[in-house]
Structure 1
Amino acid sequence: MSTSITFEHPLNERIRIFLRLEHLFERFEHFVRQFDPSATRAAIDALLEIVAITARSDIKNEILKELEHHIGAIHRLADKPGVDPKALEQVLSDLDDAIDGVRHIGSPIGQTAREDDFLKAIAQRSSIPGGACSFDLPHYHFWLIQPPEIRQTRFDHWLLDLTPAFSAIDLALSLIRGSTAPRRVLAEGGFFQEALDLDASAQMLRVGLDASEALYPEISGHKNRFSIRFMAIESSGRPAQRCDDVSFKLTCCVL
């Protein structure tokens, strides 16, 4: 059985931020469940990146806008033939729960971790290559060798205003990905381009490839048009555009 690989590309700034946060959430959750000090370091690094992103824009408001947009889109589906009303009701309930969870965050998202003196010290030293080693931050080294339950207690505290955001972004991206069925298309000479329907604003592109193709897509796009070049790695290690036709699955996610 062949293995497929999916590449995604955001078509607006909000989804770009959500995808970056999702990537960091997944990295954080992978390492925070491990008890080795090196894994805890990796979890802290991911958490610091999350904190940095959430400090740059009003993530809380962006999440609420996206969830409310989804509610409006789902209500418009209610009268269409073939739509399962029970399924719609469940999705609307999930969206309402996510909105409530985000609205009940009593501070800006990420503020608990952002204002923690311990994490501030690590962030400052981490800007220097190798700056978070044991002689630079002995208190960090001491904390890393504490029992796992002590480290987990601190993580639980730092996540107080992040967990509802994690859940809401996960729900929003899940609905976006499932909003449109993929279609099989052909990139002639390794290149494909298409105009987007301005009346149905696309949020994300998804490109599905068979892993045996040994290709990856370079995607560029905005709300009007997008293009895809399929690249292969040459023996020299440099990428080059594929010259022959490439069949792939394309999803223009619209919700």
Structure 2
Amino acid sequence: MITFEHPLNERIRTFLRLEHLFKQLDYCIHQEDPRGSRSAIATLLDIVAVTARADVRNELLKELDRHISSLDRLSSQRGVDQAALTEVMDDLRRASDAIHVLNGPIGHMAREDEFLKAIAQRSSIPGGTCSFDLPHFHYWVIQDAELRQARFTEWLEDLKPAIEAIQLALSLVRSSSASRQVSAEGGFYQEALDSLAPAQMVRVAVAADQNIFPEISGHKNRFSIRFMNAAARGRATQHFDDVDFKLTCCVF
């Protein structure tokens, strides 16, 4: 099965984008080849840009507090695994404390680094980070991998708490609801959502051998899914046959 996710509010949208970038960064950082470091720098600059546009610190604290309050209400209900609940709440409180103690906005260290600023200024130009444009960058990427790793560790100092908090929050959102088998008649499906229990995210899982993918649109009150045929070349076309798939509306 291939799973596709779609956020239903701006906070989760930002978290999903950052999660995607964090995973890419984690992969590239550990590549000893200079091209891996170049890709890692490009991804780090994308993270800096996202965190500059959104108040990630406050949004994270709000999300963690929301999870803590929701789980706290569950503690008095019968049948709840108290040990597991306590462990999750402790994880949430530790994540929140780590965000609280940060000195400045998330991504501040990388954002204010003069070396990264120079690269960012040239990155908007196609091929603008080549050796003759940025000789300092060219010199840096051919240094020992240990030296490059040390710099990344510095730049990520105030990003790591955010990485861990976002992963924890999204993990709870994803596991908050059970998936159900539904059918999209003629390749189209739509559903109204409960405004009293707003969903955070929609997850759609389809069989890998169907050669289709979903285009999802929606907000807190309603969402729709249109299945498309994956084309090897050219534009994707609408799929008009019925599609059985697994749907999860994550409401936590």
TM-score, length of structure 1 as denominator length? 0.97
**Equivalent residue for 1:162?**
159
Q: By how many angstroms is 1:115 displaced?
A: 0.5
- Percent identical across equivalent pairs? 62
Counterparts of 1:102 and 1:136, CA distance in 2: 37
CA apart distance, 1:233:
2.9
Q: Which residue of 2 aligns with 1:223?
A: 220
Q: Determine which of 182, 201, 204 is the counterpart of 1:185.
A: 182
1:236 is displaced (CA, Å) by 5.5
In structure 2, what is the equivalent of residue 34 of structure 1? 31
Report the counterpart of residue 135 of structure 1 in structure 2: 132
Cα 1:70–1:119 shift into 2, 3 Å = same
Mark the CA change 1:163 to 1:234 in structure 2 (over 3 Å): closer, same or farther.
closer
| Equivalent residue pairs, number | 252
| Structure 1 equivalent of residue 62 of structure 2 | 65
- 1:50 equivalent to 2:55? Answer no
Q: Deviations over 1:213-233 (max 9, x none)?
A: 111000010011100000003
Q: 1:98 aligns with which of 87, 95, 100?
A: 95
Aligned match of 2:77: 80
Q: Distance in 1 between matches of 2:197 and 2:162?
A: 26
Instruction: Determine the C-alpha separation between the residues in 1 that align with 2:232 and 2:15.
Output: 35
Unaligned 5+ segments in structure 1 are: none
**Alignment-mate amino acid for residue 251 of structure 1:** T
Structure 1 residue runs of 4 or more that deviate by more than 4 Å after TM superposition = none
Paired amino acid for 1:142: Y
Q: Distance in 2 between matches of 1:144 and 1:71?
A: 43
Q: CA deviation at 1:163?
A: 0.5
For the residue of structure 2 that corresponds to 1:186, the secondary structure is strand
Matched, 1:251 2:248: yes
Q: What 5-or-longer segments of structure 2 have no aligned partner?
A: none
Residue identity opposite 2:160 in structure 1:
T
Structure 1 residue 235, shift from structure 2 partner: 6.6
Residue 85 of structure 2 aligns to a residue whose secondary structure is helix
Deviations 1:192-218 (A, max 9, x none): 000001111100000001100111000
2:199 to 176, 199, 202: 202
SS, match of residue 186 in structure 2:
coil
> Greater CA deviation, 138-147 or 235-244?
235-244
In the aligned structure 1, how far is the partner of 2:68 from the partner of 2:240? 44
Partner SS for 1:86: helix
TM-score (norm 2): 0.98
Report deviation, 1:82: 2.6
